Every structure is written in structure tokens, then in C-alpha cells.
Copies of this chain bind each other. A is one copy, B any other.
Amino acid sequence: MFIARVTGSVVSTQKVQSMTGHKLLVVEPYRLEEKGREALVTTGRTFIAVDTLGSGEGDFVLITQGSSARLTPETKTLPIDAVIIGIVDQVHIDKLNVYSRD
């Protein structure tokens, strides 16, 4: 999995029918800043993931990719390759708290 920040959303009317009613969020993968190792920084990449947890803009989330994106009750039969499996409260790296939700 990887950590990503929710930055926006996508509207799509014409789509595969099973996708109706599923929230599509824009997420940006983050990684540890390499020099200082004290904060998470964006990788600059842009992905779209299905959300079933009520994630909102600014939230840091955990993204699962590939066939395992279909291993949640709400996404079992969907043609998707990325899903949010958790909203991140805290990330600790090298004994430091590099992210805290509050």
C-alpha cells in the first residue's frame, strides 16, 4: 500500500454501469522527504481511487492497488484497481511523528 493525500474528485456521467454511485477521489502519493526525513512530501503523481470510508479533501489515506482493491464488501465486483482502505491518523518514521491528523 502507499500513503496518499486526497486532493480532489472526479465527475463522470458516462461510465461502466457498475460504477454508478461510487465516489472517485483524486489522490497524490506521498513519500518521506529524503534529506531531513522529518516530513511526508508529494511524489507529484496523480491517481484516482474509490472511497468507501467518507474520506475528505486533505485527508491522508492508505491506498491498495491491483486486484486486492476488490477485496472490500462495497467493491467486490467493480472494475477498479485502487481503493482507500483507511484514513491515516498518524505516521511514525525513525521514531519521529512525521504526520498527525489533528
Query: Which residues of A pack against B, CB within 8 Å?
Result: 1-3, 7-19, 24, 26, 28, 30-32, 34, 40, 44-49, 52-54, 57, 62, 64-73, 75, 77-83, 85-95, 98
Contacts and interface: CB of A to CB of B under 8 A. Distances in A.
A77 to B, nearest CB: 7
A10 B68 contact: no
Contact of A10 (B10, B44, B62): B62
A102 to B, nearest CB: 12
A19 B19 CA distance: 24
Given A70-B68, A79-B68, A81-B66, A87 B47 contact: no
A49 B11 contact: no
